[in-house]
Amino acid sequence: MRTSFKSLLFLFVALVMTGMFSACSEGEDLPNGGKPMVNYIRVTRPAASDSLITKAGQGAMIAIVGENLGNARELWINDQQASLSPTLITNNSIITRVPSNIPTEITNKMKIIFANGEELVHDFTVDISEPRIDRMLSEYVNSGDVATIVGDFFYEPLKVTFTGGAEGEIVSIKDNKTLEVRVPEGAQPGPITVTSNFGATESDFWFRDNRNIIAAFEDTNFDGWWHGKDFVVSSDPEIPAISGKFLRSNKDLGAWAWYEMWVGNGGTIKTGTSNIPADAFANPGKYSLKFELNTLQSLQGAELHMYMGANMASEREKINYNWKPNIDTKGEWQTVIIPWEDFLKGNTTLKYNPAGYEVSFHFSGASPVKAMFGLDNIRVVPN
C-alpha cells in the first residue's frame, strides 16, 4: 500500500509540473508574454486605414490594434464607457466608437478592462468640438431681454461675451444646439463669443449689426419717398421697438392688392442705399440682405416684390426679387436672411452706383394676406 501511495503522489506531482511547464510554454509563445498591449489606434475608413491617430472626435469609429485583446470586457475613454460588441473584438483588434457624451473628468486616457480584472491604460484624446455659432434668432435684442443663439456643441459650462466685454446671463441650453442668453447692459454692435471648456468661437455675424444700413427708418426728412413715411413709428402697443423707429404695417390685403410699403426714387432713400458696398456687387455670394421682422399674423401666401435700381417707375413691375416669406414669428422679432446673389438675380438691371438707388418694396400676389408686422434695419452685410 505504501508503494502504491508513493506512486500515485509521484504521478500527481508530475502532472502538476507538466501543466506548469505547459502554461509557461504557452505564455512564452504568445506575443508580449500573453499580456494585453496596444500597438496603435487607427481610423476604420478603408481609404485611410493606414492613418494612425492619437485623438478622435466624439462618435468617431476607431480600431484599436494590439496583442492579446480578445478578453476585453469594458472600454473607457476619459470617464465615459464605450460600447463593445463581441463580434468586433479579436485577439489583435477592438473596433468601437468614441463616446459621444461629454466627459465630466478629462484624463486623456483610454482604459481597457479584461475578463480577469486586468486593466490596460493607453494615451488617447477625445477631440471635443468647440462651440459652433450658426445664427441668432434675432440679431437685435434689447438689453435685459433674452436672445436665442442657434448652433451646436453648446456644452456647459458656457460663457457668452458681447462686443465691448459685457457677459450675458445663460438662461437655458437645449440639446446643446440652442442657447438662450440675457443681453447685458453695455452690449455693443459686433460679434458675440461663446466659450466652453473646449474652446471659444466668435460669430461671423454681428449682434446689433450697424454696417451698411440702407433703411433704419430713423428719417425725419422724407424727401424722395413715395410711400412708407406714414408707416414709420417710434412705438406700438403690440410690437416693441428694438432699435429706435421701425416700419409698422397693418394692412388686410385681398388677392392682387397693390400695397406700396417702402417706395421712393431719391432723397434719403438714395442716401441710405448708397451704403451698399461695391464689394457686394463684385462678390455677391459673400453677402446677404438682412432685416428684422415681427409678424402678428402669418405671411403665408404673401409676395413682397423688392426692386432696387435706376428706373423704379418703369422697371419695378417686371424686374424685382419676389420674396415669398411663408413666415409667422408669432409676435417675436426674427432676423430674415436673403442671399444677396438671389436678390441680384431678380434685379437684373441693378449695378453698383455710389450715389444710391431707387427702391420699391411692394406687396402684390394671388393670395389674400394680413400684412400686420414690424420691420427694421434693412442692410446688406457680409455673411
Domain check: are 341 and 239 in the same one? Answer: yes
Helix (H) and strand (E) counts in the chain: 5, 27
Domain check: are 86 and 121 in the same one? Answer: yes
pLDDT score, position 28: 55
Domain check: are 90 and 169 in the same one? Answer: no
Mean pLDDT of 339-365: 98
| Alpha-helix residue ranges (DSSP H) falling in the chain | 2-29, 267-273, 279-282, 312-315, 340-346
Per the domain annotation, does 14 fall within a domain? Answer: no
Domain check: are 279 and 357 in the same one? Answer: yes
| Other Cβ atoms closer than 10 A to 16 | 10
Per the domain annotation, does 26 fall within a domain? Answer: no
Domain check: are 200 and 313 in the same one? Answer: no
Grid cell of 207 as nine digits: 449682434
pLDDT at residue 352 above 50? yes
3-state secondary structure of 2: helix
Domain check: are 289 and 158 in the same one? Answer: no
Query: pTM, whole model, 2 decimals?
Result: 0.82
Per the domain annotation, does 10 fall within a domain? Answer: no
Domain check: are 89 and 145 in the same one? Answer: no
pLDDT in tens, 60-117: 999 999 999 999 999 999 999 999 999 999 999 999 999 988 888 899 999 999 999 9
pLDDT in tens, 205-260: 999 999 999 999 998 899 999 999 999 999 999 999 999 999 999 999 999 999 99
Our count of domains for the chain comes to: 3
- Cα–chain-centroid distance for residue 317? 38
Lowest mean per-residue pLDDT among 8-12, 297-301, 315-319: 8-12
Instruction: Please give the Cα distance from 379 to 336 (Å, whole number).
Output: 11
Per the domain annotation, does 108 fall within a domain? Answer: yes
pLDDT at residue 6 above 80? no
Per the domain annotation, does 79 fall within a domain? Answer: yes
C-beta separation of 358 from 349 below 8 A: no
pLDDT at residue 32 above 90? no
Domain check: are 137 and 240 in the same one? Answer: no
- Identify the domain boundary among 80, 109, 127: 127
Per the domain annotation, does 356 fall within a domain? Answer: yes
Domain check: are 220 and 364 in the same one? Answer: yes
Q: What secondary structure does DSSP assign to 107-139, as a single string? A: --EEEEEETTS-EEEEE-EEEPPPPEEEEES-S
Question: What domain range includes position 42?
Answer: 34-127
Per the domain annotation, does 283 fall within a domain? Answer: yes
C-beta separation of 376 from 140 below 8 A: yes
Question: Which has the higher per-residue pLDDT, 2 or 91?
Answer: 91
C-beta separation of 328 from 338 below 8 A: no
- Identify the domain boundary among 77, 111, 127: 127
CATH number for the domain including 168? 2.60.40.10
Average pLDDT, the chain: 92
Per the domain annotation, does 22 fall within a domain? Answer: no
CATH number for the domain including 323? 2.60.120.430
Domain check: are 277 and 300 in the same one? Answer: yes
Domain check: are 196 and 317 in the same one? Answer: no
Cα distances from 214 to residues 61, 75, 80, 291, 378, in angstroms, run 50, 58, 52, 10, 6
- Identify the domain boundary among 87, 105, 127: 127
Domain check: are 268 and 364 in the same one? Answer: yes
Across 33-63, b (16+ Cβ under 10 Å) vs e yields eeebebeebbbeeeeeeeeebeebebebebb
pLDDT in tens, 257-315: 999 999 999 999 999 999 999 999 999 999 999 999 999 999 999 999 999 999 999 99
